[in-house]
Chain A
């Protein structure tokens, strides 16, 4: 039972345009959500997070939106750059569960020059 799903395994975007990566979850106990970026042969790198008390968090070119009623979050990257090409994972954690993250399957983003 996949509690965190990223339904698009890949996404191709032109440089300078917006990239939108989506993530759905089923567990109502999740209250903290993160996005990680991963290059081949490296560990995931933290990008941005959002707590369930918010519906938006912004950090430079990256914005995460959370829709609790739909159990959906999305990551917007504006403008997209070729260096953003990587696999993006969303992850979720319930309150009081330590640092136990449940990850989605990842979306491979390709930004074309």
Chain B
């Protein structure tokens, strides 16, 4: 079974631009979560989607948004990029939402904002 796939692997953008990251969950998984990892703040929850609906949202500004498609694939978008958005963005999938689920993570997209 293929794991969680994230594209692109690396991305370089400049301040003010916008970026879209993609995540394909493990086949059959319906929940997709996004996390941001930075050296200073660690791993922080961005949002979770289940059956195309946003179920939970972390404490991030509205510049961070996401969506989930009917095939469970998900995208996240960051508009008006700031230097502080440079981070590893991780996607995780699970079969269900809640109920003590194990999350399976992808390798992440390393975003650098110059």
Q: Which positions in A face B, CB cutoff 8 Å?
A: 32, 34, 36, 41-46, 49, 51, 89, 91, 93, 95-106
Interface size class of B (residues with CB under 8 A): 20 to 34
Q: Take A99-B31, A99-B92, A99-B94 as given contacts and tell me if A105 and B105 are in contact as well, using a CB distance cutoff of 8 Å.
A: no
Could you tell me the distance between the alpha carbons of A72 and B50 in the complex, rounded to whole angstroms? 31
Q: Which positions in B face A, CB cutoff 8 Å?
A: 4, 31, 33, 35, 42-45, 48, 50, 55-56, 58, 90, 92, 94, 97-98, 100-108
> A96: which B residues are within 8 A, CB to CB?
98
Q: Take A34-B102, A99-B101, A103-B42 as given contacts and tell me if A43 and B108 are in contact as well, using a CB distance cutoff of 8 Å.
A: yes
> B92: which A residues are within 8 A, CB to CB?
43, 99
> A46: which B residues are within 8 A, CB to CB?
102-104
The answer to whether A45 and B105 have CB atoms under 8 Å apart is yes
Chain B interface mostly helix, strand, loop or mixed?
strand
Nearest A residue to B102 via CB reads A46
> B31: which A residues are within 8 A, CB to CB?
98-99
The answer to whether B45 and A43 have CB atoms under 8 Å apart is no
Nearest B residue to A6 via CB reads B42
> A91: which B residues are within 8 A, CB to CB?
43
The answer to whether B105 and A97 have CB atoms under 8 Å apart is no
Could you tell me the distance between the alpha carbons of A27 and B103 in the complex, rounded to whole angstroms? 21
* CB proximity of A44 to chain B, nearest CB, Å: 5
Nearest B residue to A50 via CB reads B100
Could you tell me the distance between the alpha carbons of A39 and B35 in the complex, rounded to whole angstroms? 16
Q: Take A99-B33, A100-B58 as given contacts and tell me if A105 and B42 are in contact as well, using a CB distance cutoff of 8 Å.
A: yes
